[in-house]
A and B are shown apart, each in its own frame.
Chain A
């Protein structure tokens, strides 16, 4: 029967090899949250639209709710738990904290990873590039300003503005 099908997959999660047995229909986000108990990755919409499930797959930001776990076989997955610096916070996390880039915090892990991807390809994004680069990360507290401000501060571009 189809529902008896289980697949053994191996992937790297936060630089650790992970072997897991999953149903082919298991979503990557459910593997991460339910099996690996890495609950910093969130689910907010079920339809690939909110961005709270963002993880890095081979270094690029993806939505783990819109991928099957089996699709991640052989890849390198980084969740928020793996994005944390070993010694504390990354500069990006420091900046988000310092600039008050968190309110309810539910979107924050996804924002951190999306920004990490953005900053990997664009060292000094403009305000507009940051806003567009975060198009896939909704924040209903609408704390967008402080996230943009934090990113500009991190890259030394805020120039003392307080209206973003």
Chain B
């Protein structure tokens, strides 16, 4: 690891100023991504500003919404009663990710900024437009079994790996930040992550030095009946080959509301409005679920190694919807 300096502070504006004023500075929260990539020499900040002393840790359940502080740990969010009751999909997605130790360390805001597991990004040497713009994409003609079939470009097909963000993408989530000039802003979750396009090194709309202070997840009636299904090569502790975050509201056999997002197959958190629309107003049947899955994957661009992901993602979505629809309507009391 290269030498660097480290600071911690207790005031938000000071933390923001410290990072904003120094091009090589970066925020440090749980460190599960940053320290990992530092060790691999993939990121090379010269100053880390630790945000853990900022007063941003709480989880507050209000009528109509849950406010999650930026530095709340993934573990704490996953077991919070309001999260489990109002949007179980988020709890399930969090628990499907990483390991207990990493969930204890990782923060929810850090999860939003998780970096890809693409091997060519992480190896620190291969051509990679995300790590070194303009060098090319080794995954396109390399080993791309794990790569994205949705949202990719000719410059990057790296998967955005977060399970939690797959859930947050299908919930009504907003991201709250403080900008370098001290102003606050609220970003729709759907607007936070950018498509790789020709600039895969740009992953979010955040400015350098802009600090996430928290998330707000608005209550959504459908989300009370929601679930996360993750398919992977081993039973736990692995990133998804494909995953689906789903919520359904079914009245008299008719789908009245639906939320759908896919994970493990796209370059950013991937909500599918088309799939949702294909369900709403019709019966909750396997045929309709299959139609929705086809809509969700309609734009897929598979390569040699990841062609199976198209069908796998469709089936993951169909299975998640089928399992959810067959659950008793009454949520079991916890």
Contacts and interface: CB of A to CB of B under 8 A. Distances in A.
A117 B104 CA distance: 10
A66 B32 contact: yes
B4 A25 contact: yes
Interface size range on B against A: 20 to 34
A86 interface: no
A73 B1 CA distance: 20
B3 interface: yes
Interface in B38-61: 38-40, 46, 48, 50, 52
Interface string A1-18: 111010100000000000
Interface in A49-71: 49, 51, 54, 57, 60-63, 66-68, 70-71
A71 B101 contact: no
A27 B237 contact: no
Given A71-B50, A135-B237, A48 B3 contact: no
A24 interface: yes
A34 to B, nearest CB: 15
Contacts, number: 90
Contacts of B52: 71
A57 B104 CA distance: 9
B334 to A, nearest CB: 15
Given A24-B48, A25-B38, A135 B100 contact: yes
Interface of A: 1-3, 5, 7, 23-25, 27, 46-49, 51, 54, 57, 60-63, 66-68, 70-71, 73, 114, 117-118, 131-133, 135-137
Given A47-B36, A57-B104, 17 more contacts: A2-B2, A24-B48, A25-B4, A25-B38, A27-B35, A27-B39, A47-B39, A48-B102, A61-B104, A63-B105, A66-B35, A68-B28, A71-B31, A71-B52, A73-B8, A135-B237, A136-B99
19 contacts: A2-B4, A2-B5, A2-B46, A24-B6, A54-B101, A60-B75, A61-B100, A62-B101, A63-B32, A63-B105, A66-B32, A67-B31, A71-B52, A114-B101, A117-B104, A118-B100, A135-B100, A136-B101, A136-B102
